[in-house]
Amino acid sequence: MNQKILAIQEIYREGKERLERAGILEAELDAWYLLEHVTGISKASYYGNPAREIRRQEKEQYFYYIEERKKRIPLQHLTGEQGFMGLVFCVNRHVLIPRQDTEILVETALERMKPGMQILDMCTGSGCILLSLLKLCKAEGVTGTGTDISKEALRVAVSNAERLGIRAKFVQGDLFENIGSQKIFDMIVSNPPYIPTAVIDGLQEEVKLYDPYVALDGREDGLFFYRRIVKESISYIKRDGCLLFEIGCEQAEAVAGLMEKAGYKDIRVKKDLAGLDRVVYGMYNGE
Ligand code: GLN
């Protein structure tokens, strides 16, 4: 590219076109977010002076990111963050990038929070679910534990807790493996891996190539982790405690069935903004 072109609007246009030519779906948005990330310039300030020049170093950095994005590396892996529930979470290739659909799970859980509750977030990843619950709940004295099989993911969760100034406990282990043996939880939330193995290959490349495989793979029918979590949950959840899952849009009936069989009642399904089943939850009715 011509070394003389340093006006920010030219750079933005070039970035956008390179992404469009590479078939990146949201080329314009991604080109903008990368520009903002590199230069720190806000939209208002950009439109105030689109002819302003930016430093060569920033330009080089910008086109480096554009080239990385062309390889389908997710935008959030380049900027290192993702907004979720109005908070900013650090992410990297070891955690699933927080999705807007998951906000439905958090909102449903928030409506059910009471003072003094103990919450468990199973498969916490970046910690986005647990940390949003702890940050946004109005009830006093709520405490939370997050668990994940991935040490690298937990490192991200711990740093998110520190950055957001939230106290939470994080435990590494295979599901309930290291959670202790008491029935102390009033609420268990989880967005476990739920994509059937055979479906993963057909997903968009950003997900298939760069989201951690262990965070996606729900084995043969996608229900592997729901079966285990539902079954094992009854040793950890209190009577009248609430179990809430994010689900794949075709899994509501199956997951509700598993919960009913294990002793959950008042099982409900909630839809996401696209009108698809997204959350299943119910109360534990046993001892
Ligand atoms: N709980 C995390 C999230 O919702 C991670 C979920 C996962 O790894 N399947 O983003």
Ligand 1 closest atom vs CA 214: 8
Helix (H), strand (E) at residue 200: helix 197-200
How far is residue 142's CA from residue 168's CA, in Å, rounded to a whole number?
Answer: 10
Mutate to test the pocket of ligand 1, among 87, 90, 95 (most ligand atoms within 8 A of CB): 95
257: domain CATH number? 3.40.50.150
Is the CB of 127 within 6 Å of ligand 1?
A: no
In a domain, 100, yes or no: yes
pLDDT of residue 124: 98
Strands (DSSP E) found in 185-286: 185-190, 237-246, 264-271, 277-284
Indicate whether 88 and 220 sit together in one domain: yes
Ligand 1: centre distance to CA 99 (Å): 9
Look at ligand 1, atom 10, and give the residue with the nearest C-alpha: 98
pLDDT of residue 2: 46
pLDDT tens by residue, 94-122:
999 999 999 999 999 999 999 999 999 99
Indicate whether 177 and 230 sit together in one domain: yes
Q: Comparing 51-55, 117-121, 156-160, which segment has the lowest mean pLDDT?
A: 51-55
Residue 122: count other Cβ atoms within 10 Å of its Cβ. 27
pLDDT of residue 4: 57
The overall average pLDDT reported for the chain is 95
Indicate whether 212 and 157 sit together in one domain: yes
Ligand 1 closest atom vs CA 99: 10
Mutate to test the pocket of ligand 1, among 107, 174, 191 (most ligand atoms within 8 A of CB): 191
- Quick check: pTM over 0.85? yes
pLDDT of residue 154: 98
Mean pLDDT of 251-258: 98
Q: How many domains does the chain have?
A: 2
How far is residue 219's CA from residue 251's CA, in Å, rounded to a whole number?
Answer: 14
Indicate whether 30 and 122 sit together in one domain: no
Look at ligand 1, atom 5, and give the residue with the nearest C-alpha: 125
In the DSSP assignment, the letter for residue 96 is: P
In a domain, 200, yes or no: yes
Is the CB of 125 within 6 Å of ligand 1?
A: yes
Indicate whether 23 and 95 sit together in one domain: no
Look at ligand 1, atom 1, and give the residue with the nearest C-alpha: 124
pLDDT > 90? residue 71 = yes
How far is residue 169's CA from residue 5's CA, in Å, rounded to a whole number?
Answer: 50
Ligand 1 closest atom vs CA 215: 8
Is the CB of 102 within 6 Å of ligand 1?
A: yes
Indicate whether 113 and 235 sit together in one domain: yes
In a domain, 184, yes or no: yes
Indicate whether 182 and 272 sit together in one domain: yes
Indicate whether 229 and 196 sit together in one domain: yes
Is the CB of 229 within 6 Å of ligand 1?
A: no
Look at ligand 1, atom 6, and give the residue with the nearest C-alpha: 191
In a domain, 183, yes or no: yes
Q: Choose the final residue of a domain: 44, 71, 98.
A: 71
Q: Choose the final residue of a domain: 10, 40, 71.
A: 71
Look at ligand 1, atom 8, and give the residue with the nearest C-alpha: 215
In a domain, 26, yes or no: yes
Decide: residue 261, CB within 10 A, 0-12 exposed, 13-18 middle, 19+ buried: exposed
Indicate whether 22 and 148 sit together in one domain: no
In the DSSP assignment, the letter for residue 164 is: H
Mutate to test the pocket of ligand 1, among 89, 128, 195 (most ligand atoms within 8 A of CB): 128
Nearest residue to 86 (alpha-carbon basis) of 120, 125, 135, 44: 135
Write the CB contacts of 255 (distance below 8 Å, at least 6 apart in sequence): 223, 226, 230, 245, 247, 280
Q: Comparing 45-54, 234-243, 257-266, which segment has the lowest mean pLDDT?
A: 45-54
Rounded to the nearest 10°, the torsion over CA 152, 157, 161, 162 is 20
Ligand 1: centre distance to CA 64 (Å): 29
Indicate whether 169 and 85 sit together in one domain: yes
Indicate whether 266 and 178 sit together in one domain: yes
Indicate whether 38 and 85 sit together in one domain: no
Q: How confident is the model at residue 287 (pLDDT cuts 50, 70, 90)?
A: confident
Q: Show the domain range for 20.
A: 2-71
Is the CB of 154 within 6 Å of ligand 1?
A: no
Q: Choose the final residue of a domain: 71, 103, 120.
A: 71
In a domain, 76, yes or no: no
